[in-house]
Amino acid sequence: MRVSERGQITLPKPLRDRFGMHHNVEVEVVPADGGLLVRKRSAARHPVDRVYGVLETGGITDDYLEEIRGR
């Protein structure tokens, strides 16, 4: 493979088929040891991202724990 003038690469068809990288599939490029890692971007959100911000903020954790323990 070569990088084009516009910074594009073409993934060989056997690799695209093997990893399900069809038309309009989003990928991310991540720095890795010795190069770059190209991986399919997941449509699912990370479990932490799904619950981030659910709890109210501003309290002291120890006070909250004492309250829910009934002390």
pLDDT at 57: 67
Tokens at residue 25, please? 């599939």
Q: DSSP characters for 4-63?
A: -TTS-----HHHHHHHT--TT--EEEEEETTEEEEEEPPSSPPHHHHHTT-S--SS-HHH
pTM for the full model?
0.50
Spatial contact of 22 and 11, defined as CB atoms under 8 Å apart: no
User: Taking 90 as the threshold, does the pLDDT of residue 5 lie above it?
Assistant: yes
Domain boundaries of the chain, sorted by first residue? 13-68
Please tell me which of 21-35, 41-55, 56-70 the model is most confident about, judged by mean pLDDT.
Answer: 21-35
Side chain identity, residue 43: A
pLDDT tens string 34-46: 999 998 887 667 7
The rounded distance, in Å, linking the Cα atoms of 4 and 46 is 33
pLDDT at 53: 74
Within 10 angstroms of residue 15's Cβ, the number of other Cβ atoms is: 11
pLDDT tens string 7-20: 999 999 999 999 88
